[in-house]
Structure 1
Amino acid sequence: MLKEEHEVAVLGMPHNPAPPTSIVIHICSETSVPDHVIWSLFNTLFMNSCCLGFIAFTYSVNSRDRKMVGDLTRIQVYAFTAKCLNVGALFWASS
């Protein structure tokens, strides 16, 4: 027997009256990134100049799909692109 195994065998289990407890800490990184689906749908239906609203809607849906997977970098990229396309669709339709 190794020395460490012998010491464990001699000492035995601790004689605590309370059972051992464990603490579990759940860390949720809920970073809220808007996917702009409603805004993109509005632009698709009412201000669809050069199909910018439809393209923005596509990026918004992709952003929402990435939320289900949990891919934060792609969420941010798709949401930012959808936002830029929505702003472009609003400016293009208003001019």
Structure 2
Amino acid sequence: MNHNSQHFFSGAHNGVPPTYEMLKEEHEVAVLGAPQSSAPVTTTVINIRSETAVPDHIVWSLFNTIFMNWCCLGFVAFAYSVKSRDRKMVGDMTGAQTYASTAKCLNIWALVLGLLLTTGSIVLLVFVYATAYSVFLKSMQENNGYH
């Protein structure tokens, strides 16, 4: 090895043992030197899209369809989730994201309305039964002579 390649090796890996591939590349650079052609250097940029996971919210939609289906929002959310999954299978990530976003919004509304309306219905039933029970007790007291 000549003096340039030894200096290149020692400066690049202080304290780290070089691998065979790194040594081979560094040796080739040291032997070949800079490119000799005077032609302009052109570069090509390739954009590689990473596989982004688009959630289709199908399980959440199925839950809302079965348990929280006030105003049929759970069913509509389920339909949009299936459309999102179909778009994802074809490779249309933009369409899948659009349908998934709509399904997510519908699922949120279905869940919020379902919780509010279910809680409201339970509270209303408790008040109706409590009122009916108190009226029943009052009528029983009047019939038995306890004014």
42, 63, 68: which one pairs with 2:89? 68
Shift of 1:28: 6.0
51, 63, 66: which one pairs with 1:42? 63
RMSD: 1.0
Q: For structure 1, which runs of at least 5 residues remain unmatched after alignment? A: 1-26
The TM-score normalised by the length of structure 1 is 0.70
- In the aligned structure 2, how far is the partner of 1:63 from the partner of 1:92? 23
Percent identical residues: 70
1:33 partnered with 2:41: no
Q: More relative contact order in 1 or in 2 (CA 8 Å, sep 6+)?
A: 1
Query: How many residues were matched structurally?
Result: 69
Q: Which residue of 2 aligns with 1:86?
A: 107
Deviation readout 1:21-80 (Å, 9 max, x if unpaired): xxxxxx563110100000000000000010000000000000000011000110110000
Shift of 1:82: 0.2
Amino acid at match of 1:63: S
Highest CA radius of gyration, 1 or 2?
Answer: 2
Q: For structure 2, which runs of at least 5 residues remain unmatched after alignment? A: 1-47, 117-147
- In the aligned structure 1, how far is the partner of 2:65 from the partner of 2:95? 22
